[in-house]
Amino acid sequence: MAATLRQSERQFRVLIENTHDAIGRLTPDFRLIYANPALEALCQLPLVEARGRPAREAFGDNSQVDIFADMVREVANSATSIEQELIHGIDGPPDQQHHYLVQLVPELNPDGEVNSVLSMARDITSIRKTERRLSESNQQLRELTSRRESAREEERKLIAQEIHDELGQHLTALRMGISMLRLQFGEQAPGLNDKVLHLMGLCDRTIQVVRSIATSLRPAALNMGLYPALEWLIGEFRQHSQIHCDFTTHTGEPRLSDEQATKAFRVVQEALNNIARHSGASRAQVSLEQLDDVYRLDITDNGRGFDTDLVNKRSLGLAGMRERGISLGGEVVIFSHPGQGTTVQATFPATPPEEAP
C-alpha cells in the first residue's frame, strides 16, 4: 500500500513538474509554499529562497500581485474557488506581457478550515493576441463596409440628381414639344390629337417612373434634414402598407451631418420595410428624442413579433441595421417576443461630428 502511494505521488509530481501550467501553493496570509518549474520561472527568486517568505518577494510588487493577494485572501475567507485573468510583466512593454487565467482552489484540513490555497495559472497570451487580431480585422472590415456604404450613398445621390435634373428636364421638354405639335398641326391633321394625347400620357407615366426611381435612390427630402425625410418616408409607408403610423419628436431638428442623417434614415426605412412585410401589425410608431448627449430613435409596432435568437442568425436586414448603428457611433438593438410586437432602437451621439473631441 505504501509503495503504491509513493508510486502515485511520484507520477503526480512528474505530471506537476512537467506541465506548462504554473502551479503553486500559498498560505492564507500570502506566503509561497511551493512552485512548480513553470511558476518558478515567473518568480524573481528561486524557490529555495522564496519558500515560506511573503509571496511579494517572489512575484514582485505591482497591481497584479495586489489583485493576486486579494484573491488568495478571498479564497481563504470564503473557502470557494475563484478565477480571474492576470497579466505578468504588466509594467513592461506590451509585447513582453503574458496573460494568465488564474484559478485558485482552497485546500481544507480535516476540520474544514482552509490551510492553503492551490494556484493554477494557464498562459492564454496567444488567445488574447488572436482576439486582438480578430478585433482589429473586424474593425477594419467595419471601416471598409462603412466606406463602401458611404460611397454607395454618395453614388445614389449623384445618380438621383442626374436622373431628376437631366432626364427629368429632357422628358419635360419632350412633353412640351409634343403638346406644341397638337397646337400647331391639330387642325390640319384630324387624327393627330389622339396620337398626341397618347404620347403625352406616355411621357407623364415616364416622368413619374423617373421620379420614383430618383426617390428610391435617395429621397429629395433628405437634403432638407432628417425630420422632413422621416415625415416623407412615414407618409409613403402609410399609403402603401395601409398601416397606421405616427411620428413623434421630443427635440428640435437634430444637428447631423448628411452621412449621419442618411444612415439614421436607412435604419428607419429598413425597420418599416420589415414591419410592412413580416409583422402583420395594424399600428406602428417612430419617435426621436434627445437624452443628455445621445439621440434615441425608436421604431415600434404591435405585430406578431419574433424570437430574436432565431431570426438574428439569418437576417441580413437586422445585421445591416446593427452595422449602421455602429457606424453612427452608437448601436441598434432589437427587442421582440412572439405575440408582443417589435421595437428597433437606435442610439447615437448628439454631438455633431465637427464638435466631437
CATH, residue 297 = 3.30.565.10
Q: Check: pTM over 0.85? Answer yes or no.
A: no
Which whole number is the average pLDDT over 285-294?
89
Alpha helices in the chain (DSSP H): 2-18, 37-40, 47-50, 55-59, 63-78, 125-162, 168-185, 192-217, 226-241, 258-274, 308-311, 316-327
Share of the chain above pLDDT 90, in %: 30
Are residues 183 and 267 located together in one domain of the fold?
no
Cell readout for 293 is: 448627449
- Residue 42: its pLDDT value, please? 86
Q: Is residue 129 part of a domain?
A: no
Are residues 119 and 160 located together in one domain of the fold?
no
Are residues 60 and 180 located together in one domain of the fold?
no
Domain that holds residue 313: 220-355
pLDDT level of residue 312 (50, 70, 90 thresholds): low
Q: Strand, coil or helix: what is 293?
A: coil
Among the candidates 167, 193, 217, a domain finishes at 217
- Residue 233: its pLDDT value, please? 92
Which whole number is the average pLDDT over 192-211?
84
pLDDT in tens, 216-252: 788 888 888 889 999 999 998 998 888 999 999 877 7
pLDDT in tens, 122-155: 999 999 999 989 988 888 887 887 788 778 878 8
Are residues 301 and 225 located together in one domain of the fold?
yes
Q: Is residue 82 part of a domain?
A: yes
DSSP string, 83-147: EEEEEETTTS-GGG-EEEEEEEEEEE-TTS-EEEEEEEEEE-HHHHHHHHHHHHHHHHHHHHHHH
Q: How many CB atoms lie within 10 A of CB 229?
A: 22
Among the candidates 195, 217, 239, a domain finishes at 217
Which whole number is the average pLDDT over 341-350?
90
Q: Domain holding 87: CATH number?
A: 3.30.450.20
Number of independent structural domains in the chain: 3
Among the candidates 217, 244, 264, a domain finishes at 217
Are residues 35 and 81 located together in one domain of the fold?
yes
Which whole number is the average pLDDT over 258-279?
89
Residues comprising the chain, all counted: 357
pLDDT in tens, 19-68: 889 999 999 999 999 989 988 888 888 888 888 888 888 888 888 999 99
- Residue 221: its pLDDT value, please? 82
Are residues 104 and 61 located together in one domain of the fold?
yes
Which whole number is the average pLDDT over 94-111?
90
CA-CA distance, 328 to 318, in Å (whole number)? Answer: 15
